[in-house]
Amino acid sequence: MAEVKREIFGHMPLEDGGGEVEKFVLQSDSVRVEILSFGCIIAALKTRDRAKQFADIVLGFDTLEGYTRKHPFFGAVVGRVANRIAKGKFTMDGKEYQLFLNNGPNSLHGGARGFDKVLWSPQILPNGVCFYRLSPDGEEGYPGELKVWVTYTLNGSELAINYRAQTSKKTPISLTNHAYFNLAGQGSLDIYDHEISIEADSYLPVDDTKIPTGEVAAVQGTGFDLRQPVQLGKHLKQFHLDGFDHNFCLPLGRARRLVARAHHPPSGRTMEVHTTQPGLQFYTGNNLDGSLKGKGAAIYPKHSAFCLETQNWPDAVNKPHFPSPLLLPGEEYNHTTWLCFGTA
């Protein structure tokens, strides 16, 4: 059973409505995770290496101020729709909806003030914490009043994140956590010595604004074939890739399945990702540029972390042949992702 503690992390600026931000610490023998009531942010995640030494393996900031300023969604829950919607537009039942454009010509991760930039209401559980918020009808241009619950639970070396939602009107929804990992410890310069595998036979090619073209392409014979572990640095060089920021199409079905594994041979740390979601966005921190001061005054250059974001496929609301992101009144959105930590 995990131990759960709560403490004050900071106070929201008055221009953002004020309010107290709490930090919840979930601790087992092998994992310690710190989660904020602002954006449901995973602010720290400490796991052991093979010498039993703990290190914090997620990027982030030491203070609330870091998180309230512009940053690339470090550790946050993003929504109402994770990833990109082309031109920030979609049509549903004959009505066109226009969202805020915050990523070139597209809408990304919920818009200008998505789920990552708001305070959530916490409730402590025996081995975790549940965060709740009501997203008003029309928030960021999305239809329907949406009730959302995000629950983090820690059992031994496994962190589970469950997402639930109910809506008053038909709406697209896709929720994920945007943690940036470096299994060598946050602040380490790159992830080139990490080994990564992803259980996907296909992926989504994208245009130059990172919107899927609509093609579902086989990974076989390409640099996107990660079904066997690859060493990231060597692999990027071999295939002349600037990095990954692509959706991998997971085996269909609502059951829990293993979808990705990361291993850092020098420390021995491993992380497995299991999920019920249909997609996994693999991102290698291509846009990190060293300009942000992170925890312990760390700098975060390009390729200093990776994300494995379980979610629906990007721009699915505009692609009828992609898994539907639409939630109807009377239905419940319910997905879980499990992060399992260990050593090898």
Q: β-strands 269-275, 333-343: how paired?
A: antiparallel
Annotated binding site for beta-D-galactose: 83-84, 178-180, 245
3-state secondary structure (DSSP) of residue 36: strand
The Cα 77–Cα 163 span in angstroms is: 10
Write down the pTM of the prediction.
0.97
Mean of the per-residue pLDDT values of the chain: 97
Each residue of 289-310: pLDDT tens digit? Answer: 999 999 999 999 999 999 999 9
The CA angle 71-185-181, to the nearest 5 degrees, is: 50
What single string gives the DSSP state of each residue in 151-199? EEEEETTEEEEEEEEEESS-EE-B-EE---B-TT-TT-S--TT-EEEE-
- Return the sign of the alpha-carbon dihedral for residues 208, 212, 216, 219: positive
CA distances from 44 to 69, 170, 219 (A): 18, 35, 33
Q: Among 109, 178, 303, 335, which one carries the catalytic annotation? A: 178
Identify whether 332 is a catalytic site residue: no
pLDDT reported for residue 62? 98
Encoded tokens for 5:
């503690």
Dist. CA 159–CA 151, nearest whole Å: 10
- Any catalytic annotation for residue 15? no
Q: Which residues on neighbouring strands pair with residue 54, listed in sequence order?
A: 48
> pLDDT tens across 71-118, in order?
999 999 999 999 999 999 999 999 999 999 998 999 999 998 999 999
Q: Which two tokens mark 251?
A: 């085996």
State the greatest distance between any 2 C-alpha atoms of the chain, in Å, as a whole number.
Answer: 60
Using CA atoms, how far apart are residues 262 and 243, in angstroms rounded to an integer? Answer: 16
Please state the residue numbers annotated as binding site: 83-84, 178-180, 245
Q: What is the mean predicted confidence (pLDDT) over 135-142?
A: 97
Q: How many CB atoms are closer than 10 A to CB 234?
A: 12
Beta strands at 107-108 and 84-85: parallel, antiparallel or unpaired: antiparallel
Q: Give the pLDDT score at 17.
A: 84
Report, as an integer, the average pLDDT of 115-133: 97
Rounded to the nearest angstrom, the gap between the alpha carbon of residue 302 and the centroid of all alpha carbons in its chain is 18
Asked if 61 and 295 count as a contact pair (C-beta separation under 8 A), the reply is: yes
* Residue 1, pLDDT score: 76
